[in-house]
Every structure is written in structure tokens, then in C-alpha cells.
A and B are shown apart, each in its own frame.
Chain A
Amino acid sequence: MAKTAARPALVRSVPKSPTGIQGLDEITGGGLPRGRPTLVCGGPGCGKTILGMEFLINGARQFDEPGVFMSFEETIEDLAMNFASLGLDPRPLSVHKKLALDYVRIEPNEIQETGAYDLDGLFIRLGHAIDSVGAKRVVLDTIETLFAGLSDTRVLRAELRRLFNWLRTKGVTAIVTGERGEGTMTRHGLEEYITDCVIMLDHRVVEQNATRRLRVVKYRGSTHGANESPFFIDESGISVLPITSLGLQHSVSPGRLSTGVPALDEMVGGKGYFRGSSILVTGTAGSGKTSLAGYFAEAGCRRGESALYFAFEESAAQITRNMQSIGLDLEPCLRKGLLQIHAARPTTSGLEGHLSAMHRLVEEKKPRVVVVDPISNLIAVGTSLEVKAMLARLIDFMKVRQVTALFTSLTIDEGYPEGTDIGISSFMDTWLVLRNIERNGERIRTLDVLKSRGMPHSNQVREFVLTSQGLQLLDVVRDHGRVLIGSERSAHVAVDAVLARPEKRAPRR
């Protein structure tokens, strides 16, 4: 909501250069300050170089802004090789004069200082590189290496100050990286000279899970998210996941879609879920959550819509086989490519990893329906608060894209089926509760609609069975105003049948 309040301010803020990095432009309200240097600092391996390179490559590819990458640490060959594995190979862009790469080698043993000097050589090189491609963006990674090669720090400091001012007059948007120092943002105090925008990256391990965090420390002339945001590096580069939600500005659809179970459609206003809504299915172990999710996905495929199924408990093969046992054949959907099952153990990567992979797949495959089975397993890789914040973000993300999403969640305590571990029910539009009740020596499955926003819905607790013919909701049987379930119900039905028979047969006699 802070976002909405900040909007008028954004209009007046400094001009910005979009990074094209997922999430980062959102936090910075549009990108880095245009025509000014930005300091990106953090410890070793925190992702500074990748952020810089992605900024340049996105600039060249998406925004028609050529760039210069000046590397003080890695050779161009090493850089190219490392980045090719991230889908960010700079070489083709360099061939097409969209990117100039220059490796500045500093060999302290080779250098003897013999008198007064300045860094004009560096200025000339950088200026030449900028002119050679008409660069609008520059990355200096990591310029502090100069301090290792040249001993006169007084001169160096004066020259760096001059360099950053010169970059400003050149009008290029620059990223200057710096290694974190002891108690300072950078070892040599670059933060003194670069005051327009400072971004801090962090790579830490929490409960054996490596997590990356990004924070905009300052941004002169602009509002910005001040929180630490998790970010993730995978084969497509960096994505930042702002904890702050997108807000509630997404459009809503009056369209409806089937739950996959006709009798259940009846229970939710007669027509099924709203398109673009979020559905939560909670229940204890073995209560039929995955079956309900399977029906939902299959119904989508039958309408010819693509469905994405994220499985955190079972493999794709296991899901298909188990669905077969209740008469639900997912094979045709999988063959047609309409249904895609992505199975992963929650612990294979951090929470950010899963969420970023989910974001990416939803962006890429553009499914109309999504199943996450179960979200409760994600708790295993994050703290409850984190999971909640990130799920909120995932839900918003799908709502904006009008994707109907069904989440299952395992409840442990049978006495409290309404409580979800993650406390995410308030984000959900429809909430189905499944129970597997033990009574009089039998287990009875029930289903009820705890809530369903914007539609009249059934208030009955319905009994259902999972047979080889599928999931069947049983008709409601009442006796003296009481809803009967389990063997009580079958007994009552049987008695009714017996009582009904003589009447029917009577006329024959």
C-alpha cells in the first residue's frame, strides 16, 4: 500500500534507467538513476558482477542502450565463459558493437612508481570504449583493485572522484562495484564518492539454506523500497522478489471455471471457481487434496487450457499413476502438452529458488490454471513469515495474470482443520476443507466450503468417496434434521430402499 502512496512522488523523481532485472526495477521505482553512477557492494560471491553484466546485456538487448564492461578482476574469456552458462553470453553483443568489453590487468609486481602521475590512461581507455559502441551504460568491476596496484592512495582517491564526476558529465548510467570492507560498505570507502544510489547485496546461510538478499541503501531523489529483498540467481540470471506486495490493483474477472467435479461446482455457486481466483484446499494426510487438485488441472486441460502442476511431494509418474486409480487419466493431457508437472523436493533449493522457478515457469508457459501441491511443504525451506510473504507475492503475481491457482495445504491437527500453518487463508478467495474423520470404527471423508468470496456457496459438510470411478460427492441424507454420514448414512439409505420397495411392488399383487 506504501507503493500507492509513493506513486505521485515517482513522477517527480529523477530520470531512471531500467535494469530489466526482474523485481529490481520494481524496488527502485523504475531502475537506476539515469546518467549517474550507482554503487553495488557486497561480499565475495554475492552477485555484484552478475548484476552489472545483466544490467548491460538487458540494456543492449531490450532498451537499445549499448554498454561498456570494464573488468578489473576477470579476463574477458573467463567472464564470457561464466556468463554463457547464465544465458548472458556477452560475446555476440560485443561482435555486434552493442557491448564493449575491456579487461584491465593490474600487475603490482610489474609497476614501479617513479613520480607524479594521474589516471588519464584509464579515462582514455574508458572514453574510447564508450565512443566505440556509443555506450549509455558502463560497469566498472571492481575498480578498487586499483588500490592493489598503485600505492599512492591520495592520488587514487582524487582520481576516482574525478572519474565518477567525469562519468556524470558523460551522461552514462554506471554501476561501480565494490567489495565490502570491515565495518564499511566498501574497502576503500567508495560510498564517499558515489552518493546517488547504493545497493547492497548479501549472501548468507540460514539453517543450511543459502539465501541472497538485496537492499537499496540509498537512492537520492527517489523513493525506494527499503526492505531487504530476497533474490535468486539461476540459469536466466537474477530475479529479485520484493517482499512488499504488488498491491491490490489487479482486475477481476466474472468468468467461472469448473472445479473438475460437477457436484462440487454446485456447491460453489453452481458454476465453479472464479477465473483468476486463488483456491486453498486444506486437509489432513490422505484426505484427498491431491485428488481434488488433479481434477482441477484435468478439467482445465479438457477445456483446452494449459495447466501447470507444481508437485512438492510426489513425482510426476506417481501422481499420474495415483490419479489413474481414481479413474482420472492425466496421460492425454500430458501427451498433448497441456498439462505440465514440475516435481521437486522442497529442499533442493531455497524458498527463493522455488518461488523464482515458479514465477519463471508461469511467465514462460503462460498457464491458465496452476496447482501448487502442497504449499505447506515450502515451510520446510523457509521461516513461516518468509513463506507467508512470498506466497502473498506469488498469489498476487498469478492474480495479475488472471491465472486461477489452487493450493493444497496439509493440516496436522485434526481438531483444527480451519487453521493453516502458514496463515495464508486470508489471501485466498475460496477455501475448501477436507476431513478424514474416524467415527464408529470407520473413516469418513468429508468436504465443505469454508468460504468462497463473491458467490453463494453451500454450507453443508458433504461426504465423498474416492472410487475407481472417481471422486463422488454423496447426496445429502437427512434424518430428523441431522445430516447422516458414513455407515449411518448407508444404513439409512438401505432402510429407505427397503421401505420404498413394497410400495412400488404393491400394485402387482
Chain B
Amino acid sequence: MSPKAGRRARKPGKARAATDRDFYDLRLYIAGQTARSLAALANLQKICDEHLEGRYRIEVIDLLERPQLASGDQILALPTLVRKLPEPIRKLVGDLSNTERALVGLDLRPRSPAT
């Protein structure tokens, strides 16, 4: 995936800006390799494969290893997925098992008027 991302980023001018808007920079915060962490990662992978093919990057941060990173993205609940790009930043709390909500949270599906 990263070679693809790199290739896209090399595109110049207007086209580059347009692709940047489409590019998803995602950060998944977890605490250890728990069942819930693994479920979150699997669910995220599935969503990306289905909806963001070739235009995403996932960085997994295990806070047990790097606790100092928790405050930067204001992490409280785990797992939390942070969409760094495209802006604005979005935070998805939970193991992403509710795909519908996850897609809405990632702006891959329009928010229903009720929410």
C-alpha cells in the first residue's frame, strides 16, 4: 500500500491536491495485543480494503509501548481510530465492529439526519 501512496503523492499541481483530499492517513491506538485490539485492526483492514483501496495508510500505536503518545491525540478510550487526513480530524472510538457507524465516522457514508 505504501508504494501506491508514494506514487500518488508524487503527482504534481492541481491533481496532487485533489488526491491529497482523497488520501486517508489513519492511526489506530491500542493497548497490547488483546482480542479487542486485534478485532479493531481486522475490522479496519476490511473497511480500508473495501472502501479505500490504494489510498490509505494505517499506523498502529500500542500505548503500552509508547504511553507518551496518548496525550497528543487526546486518547481516552481504546481502541481509538484517528483519521489524521483528510481534515478535519475524526475520532472513532471502539473496535469498529459497527461498520455502518465506522463508515459514517470516516465520512465514507453521509451522516444520516438523525445523527
In the complex, the chain B residue whose C-beta lies closest to that of A102 is B71
Contact (A150, B67) CB under 8 Å given A112-B105, A118-B77: no
B110 to chain A, nearest CB (A): 14
B24 to chain A, nearest CB (A): 15
Most interface-central of B74, B76, B104 (chain A CB within 10 A): B76
Contact (A110, B91) CB under 8 Å given A124-B63, A124-B70: yes
**B77 A114 Cβ-Cβ under 8 A:** no
What 1/0 flags go to B83-106 for Cβ under 8 Å of A? Answer: 000001111111111100110110
- Apart from A107-B91, A120-B63, 19 more pairs, CB < 8 Å: A104-B76, A107-B74, A111-B92, A112-B90, A112-B91, A113-B93, A113-B98, A114-B97, A114-B102, A115-B96, A117-B79, A117-B95, A121-B70, A121-B75, A121-B77, A125-B76, A128-B68, A150-B76, A150-B93
**A128 B94 Cβ-Cβ under 8 A:** no
On chain A, the residues within 8 Å of B29 by CB distance are: 121
Say whether A437 faces chain B, with CB atoms less than 8 Å apart. Answer: no
Say whether A105 faces chain B, with CB atoms less than 8 Å apart. Answer: yes
In the complex, the chain B residue whose C-beta lies closest to that of A128 is B67
> Can you list 28 pairs linking A and B with CB atoms under 8 Å apart?
A102-B71, A106-B74, A111-B93, A113-B101, A114-B92, A114-B95, A114-B96, A114-B98, A115-B95, A115-B96, A116-B36, A116-B95, A116-B97, A117-B36, A118-B78, A119-B78, A121-B31, A121-B63, A121-B70, A121-B76, A121-B77, A121-B78, A121-B80, A122-B77, A124-B64, A125-B67, A125-B71, A149-B76
Interface on B for A, CB 8 Å cutoff?
29, 31, 36, 39-40, 43, 63-64, 67-68, 70-71, 74-81, 88-98, 101-102, 104-105
Number of interface residues of A (CB under 8 A): 25
On chain B, the residues within 8 Å of A110 by CB distance are: 88-91
In whole angstroms, how far apart are the Cα atoms of A149 and B94 in the complex? 13
Most interface-central of A105, A106, A113 (chain B CB within 10 A): A113
Interface on A for B, CB 8 Å cutoff?
102, 104-107, 110-122, 124-125, 127-128, 146, 149-150
On chain A, the residues within 8 Å of B95 by CB distance are: 114-117
* A-B complex: 5 closest residue pairs judged by Cβ atoms: A112-B105, A115-B94, A115-B97, A128-B67, A115-B95
Q: Which of B39, B70, B93 contacts A125 (CB 8 A)?
A: B70
**A117 B78 Cβ-Cβ under 8 A:** yes
**B74 A104 Cβ-Cβ under 8 A:** yes
**B75 A125 Cβ-Cβ under 8 A:** yes
